[in-house]
Amino acid sequence: MMADRTSRSAAHWLRHNIEFRTLVFLALAVAAVWGFAELADEVIEGATRNLDRDLLLLLRTEGNVDDPLGPPWFEEVMRDLTALGGIAVLTLTLVAVAGFFLLRGRIGSMIFLLAAVGGGLFISTIAKQAFDRPRPDLVPHGSIVHTASFPSGHSMMAAVVYLTLGVLVSRILPQRRLKSYVLAVAALVTILVGMSRVYLGVHWPTDVLAGWLAGVAWAFVCMLGARALARRGDIEPEADEGAMAARARSSAP
């Protein structure tokens, strides 16, 4: 019983101690940036060349690099998943959620969302131009590509858009299970988009990993920004399940 009470007290403290949570988010953002920098250094030196090649070929039929593993319908599923990280789908999603915030009168959240995604797109574009890594040439591309390979823009922008959306949407949901569900779906979509890019042969695996790291780092930075703006009253504060339950009890007859 004592252990249970201690555990609940610790969990309550972690949820409500803003400064500690801010430090955790900051540490995660720094860790993601550090991971990206280390990976980029390895890629520039060519240390990941063999690993990239082996993993890419692992997803091809043995003896026929033109044929991805799996039946034709699975290849079509991968193309559908990769579209979730494309400009058209991301823009449509962004506009839809921005409209949702606008209709709810949450103008601050809408502006913050647009700025966060715009910033992520700018970083992705600059990074691609800076590294200018060629696309894989070992296998045919299963999707049309025009830009450089490192980092994966689909993977990074999927992380930026879906994780940022997940953070902002979860902020207005008081129930912790709903918050967890929204964030889990955002993370799952991000992972699937990245995996589809390697399967279709348009990115080296390290391109996708770099895109995930950069996108996650930016998403954590945006999360910190949202918390800071909420304290200043520029965007709406996060909904709290405990506070709403307390208000409901106090208003009950």
H-state helical runs in 84-144: 87-103, 107-131
- Report whether the peptide linkage leading into residue 151 is cis, meaning its omega lies within 30 degrees of zero: yes
Distance CA 54, CA 56 (A): 6
Distance CA 97, CA 161 (A): 11
Domain boundaries, the chain: 79-238
pLDDT in tens, the chain (253 residues): 555 555 555 555 555 555 666 777 788 888 888 988 888 888 888 888 888 888 888 888 877 777 788 888 898 899 899 989 888 898 898 888 888 888 888 888 888 888 888 888 888 888 888 887 888 887 777 777 777 778 888 888 898 888 888 887 777 777 788 888 888 999 999 999 999 988 888 888 998 999 999 988 888 888 888 777 777 776 776 666 444 444 444 544 4
Strand partners, 68: 60
Rounded to 5°, the CA angle 78-82-84 comes to: 125
Q: Which helix (H) or strand (E) holds 141?
A: none
User: 141-146 — which CB contacts under 8 Å span 24+ positions?
Assistant: 141/200, 141/201, 141/202, 142/68, 142/75, 142/78, 142/79, 142/199, 142/200, 142/201, 142/202, 143/79, 143/82, 143/197, 143/200, 143/202, 145/202
pTM equals 0.79
Distance CA 76, CA 108 (A): 39
Strand partners, 60: 68
Q: What pLDDT shows up at residue 14? A: 52
**Lookup: tokens for 204:** 């080296």
Q: What pLDDT shows up at residue 241? A: 46
Q: Does 12 qualify as catalytic in the annotation?
A: no
Concatenating the DSSP letter of every residue in 184-252 gives: HHHHHHHHHHHHHHHHTTSS-HHHHHHHHHHHHHHHHHHHHHHHHHHHHTSSPPPP-HHHHHHHHHHH-
Q: Does 141 qualify as catalytic in the annotation?
A: no
Q: What pLDDT shows up at residue 245? A: 44
Q: What pLDDT shows up at residue 248? A: 41
Strand partners, 64: 61
Give the chain's end-to-end CA distance (angstroms, integer).
33
Q: What pLDDT shows up at residue 15? A: 54
Q: Which residue in the list 12, 16, 146, 154 is annotated as catalytic?
A: 154
Q: What pLDDT shows up at residue 192? A: 93
